[in-house]
């Protein structure tokens, strides 16, 4: 009887012991990797989390996440991030050389819930300064600050605050699944900024030999779908805001916005046909949902796409476009040969409407008194000491006669401290306002290009000098 009892102990006890080892081994392995990633990110941001939960099914949940970028006292809070991958044993074996398959797992799903970014009070201006110091203001490649009223630009946090928002709320999810036997890869991505906009992408690729970027040259596109939703209520707020800023009526601003969008597209060498122009006007007039879908009759290789005759691109890729569920039937467009051209098409007998003089900004280094450096906290600076050494970086603190500069190095960032009495000169990188006068129609295209080039050059010089 005693021997039989011992058998039951082994039969029940061994699986329990194995389960406990696998469960806690996986948990501590994930915790180690997570803490290691947080430590590596420390020069850029302070990251904390409240709770970590793992299961043998391969699900990882991290709750109560706070991400505070360096130079700010408040950042992004995340309610929870959930990651679903292979089961814990398979994952651990994959990470053990010689025991499992190498490379990333064949399936991953990530869901991030409850993303909150506070932009109330002075926080909006702080976030704008942080974006500028990190170089994110160059969203359209021209070195100009974010401006929600410009085509191809983003919104500054200050502008969003002026539009009545005190925080941004969002959710995000993405994932992929790879089938080695059929060499197919499915991927999707969704991001939702509450009450503003939503973007959903899905992609199917054929002939994928492995999840290795170096082996992706021969992959073939099977399908692609992009759905973009822009809240009509938010869009109307933006139109009224920008119209007031520009001194025109909301309806006139919409017309000017469409014209600017068409010119921007033509600058990149694509001339839209009547149907696509009408679709663009309809979307920017009403906002809502814009759907772009590629469904080639047969999977097409990336190299093959570049070699397609230009008048067959839409047909061979199975291109479809819909605006608020209305299918666009005229998909004609033309790709310009050689240099991109800007066309200014106007109705016969009508004069082109123009915006009032634009106020733009360029970035320049300005000499400032050492005693007033405290006014330029979080700005890029160049400081010269008595030995003639130039210190370039972000001014992070001035206290007790000590000046602290955050510098970038190959391995990350570090803070250098200088005695104020040892500083002989200082420069701070600031925005300089440039008011652009109205120009006649024949001069406008060349002038716009010159202005953009000047702004780009000034911004690049500032970045090079600022390190």
Beta strands 300-301; 184-193: pairing state: unpaired
Does 29 fall in a domain? no
Instruction: For residue 270, give both structure tokens.
Output: 């694509």
Please tell me whether residues 412 and 444 are part of one structural domain.
yes
Which pLDDT does position 463 carry in this prediction?
Answer: 39
Does 27 fall in a domain? no
**H or E stretch including 412?**
strand 412-419
Which pLDDT does position 44 carry in this prediction?
Answer: 85
Does 364 fall in a domain? yes
Tally of CA atoms within 13 A in the half-sphere of 108 that contains its CB: 12
Q: Which domain holds residue 204?
A: 47-335
Please tell me whether residues 369 and 329 are part of one structural domain.
no
Does 162 fall in a domain? yes
Please list, residue by residue across 270-287, b when 16 or more beta carbons sit within 10 angstroms of its beta carbon and e when fewer do. Answer: ebbeeebbebbbbbbbeb
Please tell me whether residues 300 and 442 are part of one structural domain.
no
Please tell me whether residues 314 and 187 are part of one structural domain.
yes
At residue 294, what are phi and psi to the nearest 5 degrees?
A: -115, 120
Rounded CA gap, 240 and 260, in Å?
A: 17
Look at residues 274, 303, 335 and tell me which one is the last residue of a structural domain. 335
Which pLDDT does position 21 carry in this prediction?
Answer: 66
Please tell me whether residues 310 and 416 are part of one structural domain.
no
Number of domains in the chain: 2
Please tell me whether residues 143 and 226 are part of one structural domain.
yes
Does 106 fall in a domain? yes
Does 26 fall in a domain? no
DSSP lists the bridge partners of residue 197 as 193, 230
Does 159 fall in a domain? yes
Look at residues 302, 335, 368 and tell me which one is the last residue of a structural domain. 335
Please tell me whether residues 307 and 379 are part of one structural domain.
no
Please tell me whether residues 401 and 310 are part of one structural domain.
no
Instruction: For residue 128, give both structure tokens.
Output: 């704008």
DSSP lists the bridge partners of residue 405 as 395, 416
Does 83 fall in a domain? yes
Rounded CA gap, 454 and 159, in Å?
A: 25
Read off the pTM. Answer: 0.65
Which pLDDT does position 450 carry in this prediction?
Answer: 42
Torsion-angle region of 449 (φ positive above 0: left; ψ -120 to 50: alpha; else: beta): alpha
Please tell me whether residues 122 and 225 are part of one structural domain.
yes
Q: What is the pLDDT along the chain (467 residues), one digit of tens a residue?
A: 455 556 655 556 556 666 666 667 778 888 888 899 899 988 888 999 999 998 888 889 999 999 998 877 788 999 999 999 887 666 666 665 554 556 678 889 999 999 999 999 888 888 888 777 765 544 444 445 678 888 877 888 999 999 999 999 999 999 999 998 999 999 999 999 999 999 999 999 999 888 877 777 788 999 999 999 999 999 999 999 999 988 889 999 998 899 889 988 888 888 888 889 999 999 999 999 999 999 888 888 877 877 777 667 777 888 889 999 888 888 888 777 654 333 333 333 344 444 444 444 456 788 999 888 887 776 778 999 998 899 988 788 888 889 988 886 655 567 888 998 899 999 987 766 555 444 444 444 444 444 444 444 433 443 333 44
For residue 366, what is the domain's CATH number? 2.30.30.100
Please tell me whether residues 297 and 378 are part of one structural domain.
no
Please tell me whether residues 286 and 230 are part of one structural domain.
yes
Give the closest residue to 188 by CA, choosing from 230, 229, 226.
226
Please tell me whether residues 250 and 398 are part of one structural domain.
no
Rounded CA gap, 28 and 21, in Å?
A: 10
Which pLDDT does position 100 carry in this prediction?
Answer: 52
């Amino acid at each position: 009887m005693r021997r039989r009892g011992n058998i039951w102990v082994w039969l029940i006890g061994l699986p329990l012991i194995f389960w406990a080892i696998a469960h806690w081994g996986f948990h501590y392995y994930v915790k180690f990797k997570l803490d290691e990633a947080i430590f590596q990110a420390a020069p850029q941001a302070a990251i904390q989390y409240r709770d970590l939960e793992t299961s043998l099914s391969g699900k990882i949940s991290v709750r109560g996440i706070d991400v505070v970028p360096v130079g700010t006292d408040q950042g992004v809070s995340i309610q929870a991030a959930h990651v679903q991958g292979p089961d814990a044993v398979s994952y651990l074996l994959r990470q053990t050389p010689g025991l499992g398959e190498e490379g990333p797992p064949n399936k991953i799903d990530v869901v991030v819930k409850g993303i909150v970014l506070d932009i109330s009070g002075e926080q909006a201006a702080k976030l704008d300064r942080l974006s500028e110091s990190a170089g994110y203001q160059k969203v359209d490649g021209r070195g100009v600050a974010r401006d929600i009223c410009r085509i191809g630009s983003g919104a500054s946090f200050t502008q969003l605050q002026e539009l009545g928002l005190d925080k941004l709320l969002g959710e995000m999810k993405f994932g992929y699944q790879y089938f080695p036997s059929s060499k197919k890869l499915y991927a999707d991505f969704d991001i939702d900024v509450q009450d503003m906009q939503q973007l959903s992408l899905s992609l199917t690729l054929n002939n994928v030999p492995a999840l290795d970027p170096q082996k992706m040259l021969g992959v073939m596109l099977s399908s692609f779908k992009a759905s973009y939703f822009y809240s009509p209520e938010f869009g109307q707020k933006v139109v009224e805001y920008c119209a007031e800023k520009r001194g025109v009526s909301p309806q006139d601003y919409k017309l000017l916005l469409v014209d600017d969008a068409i010119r921007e597209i033509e600058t990149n060498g694509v001339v839209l046909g009547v149907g696509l122009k009408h679709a663009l006007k309809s979307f920017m007039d009403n906002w809502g949902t814009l759907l772009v879908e590629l469904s080639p009759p047969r999977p097409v290789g990336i190299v093959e796409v570049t070699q397609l005759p230009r008048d067959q691109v839409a047909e061979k890729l199975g291109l479809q476009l819909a605006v608020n569920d209305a299918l666009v039937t005229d998909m004609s467009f033309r790709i310009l040969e050689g240099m991109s051209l800007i066309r200014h098409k106007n109705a016969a007998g009508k004069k082109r409407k123009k915006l009032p003089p634009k106020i733009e900004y360029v970035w320049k280094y300005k000499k400032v008194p050492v005693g007033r450096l405290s006014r330029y906290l979080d700005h890029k600076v160049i400081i010269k000491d008595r030995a003639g050494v130039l210190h370039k970086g972000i001014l992070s603190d001035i206290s007790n006669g000590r000046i602290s500069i955050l510098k970038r190095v190959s391995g990350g960032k570090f803070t250098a401290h200088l005695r104020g009495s040892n500083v002989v000169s200082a420069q701070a990188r600031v925005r300089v306002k440039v008011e652009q006068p109205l120009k006649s129609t024949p001069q406008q295209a060349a002038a716009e290009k010159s202005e953009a080039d000047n702004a780009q050059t000034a911004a690049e010089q500032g970045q090079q000098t600022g390190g």
